[in-house]
Structure 1
């Protein structure tokens, strides 16, 4: 029997540890727009969240409780060596409105030499999320690149103490 060649077919999922499952679920479902998928009973709380498009997959797996807790007894915050998770999106101004309505701090960016616009925001666990948009269908109003609003690579703007209460 000939075995298949080693081939990557795409991203299966990202797993996020959280100490606030309700707020994390609300962020990813109500603010970002993912939907909840059935999740097996692993014996600890969590959620599987994914794209709403037909055939969409559960791309964000969230888990809380036992296995999410580190040596300190708390879920670690941030993305550590992974800088951010990026999703391909549409509806730039709708996301800006959602972020403002939810009290979320965010940053905006235009990828140099391309037609791509980006929004950066953090989930309740401090995972940085990049939403990327093809600007052609996003209207004439460009991203706000003013001081304090423009995304700066490597600059962390997550503050758990000031993060809005989403749940």
Structure 2
């Protein structure tokens, strides 16, 4: 049997590294970290303080999504401290989102698309915080 310790990283394809770094660094507030000198562009980000990471990989091909936000599509989910503050921040940044303060999942969710149409779920433990 495989024994897991934790999720190490998730990799997402992006087409424009500068635009992606603005979104993940400035809008989502993730901390960029050193990245090996691969023969292709990308960026790595820390998620929290437990060693989990997000890797962005520049690829000039097409992304999978062309339509509107579909919350049943594959996505990256990040737990946020405050649901209300996250909604307020997204509004301040002008980022369209779909908010679900009391969904069937049992925890509040906010869905956004990054500039390359990757689906990102931001969720919290309480919709009133």
Post-superposition shift, 1:56? 3.7
Structure 2: distance between partners of 1:78 and 1:25: 20
Matched, 1:54 2:49: yes
Q: Closer, same or farther in 2 for the Cα pair 1:101/1:77, shift >3 Å? A: farther
User: C-alpha offsets along residues 67-106 of structure 1, whole Å, 9 cap, x if unaligned?
Assistant: x133xxxx42439x95211111112122112211222110
What does 1:100-115 align with in structure 2 at a 5 Å threshold? 100-109=91-100, 110-112=102-104, 114=106
Q: 1:118 to 1:104 in 2, by over 3 A?
A: same
Q: Indicate conservation of the 8 Å contact 1:78/1:128, yes or no.
A: no
Q: Which has the higher strand share?
A: 2
In the other structure, the counterpart of 1:142 is none
Partner of 2:9: 13
Aligned counterparts of 1:35 and 1:77: Cα–Cα separation in 2: 26
Structure 2 residue matching 1:130: 3-state secondary structure: strand
State the distance in 1 between where 2:109 and 2:64 align.
Answer: 23
Select 1:117's aligned residue among 108, 111, 126.
108
Find the aligned partners of 2:127 and 2:96 in 1 and give their Cα distance. Answer: 25
1:48–1:60 CA contact under 8 A, matched in 2: yes
Number of aligned residue pairs: 123
Cα distance change on mapping 1:54 and 1:18 into 2, 3 Å: closer
1: distance between equivalents of 2:91 and 2:20? 17
Residues in 2 aligned to 1:17 and 1:83: alpha-carbon distance in whole angstroms: 13
Deviations 1:8-59 (A, max 9, x none): 22222111111111111111111112100100000221100122x43443x2
Give the TM-score normalised by the residue count of structure 1.
Answer: 0.65
Q: What secondary structure sits across from 1:135 in the alignment?
A: coil
TM-score (norm 2): 0.81
| Partner of residue 69, structure 2 | none
Say whether 1:45 aligns with 2:45: no
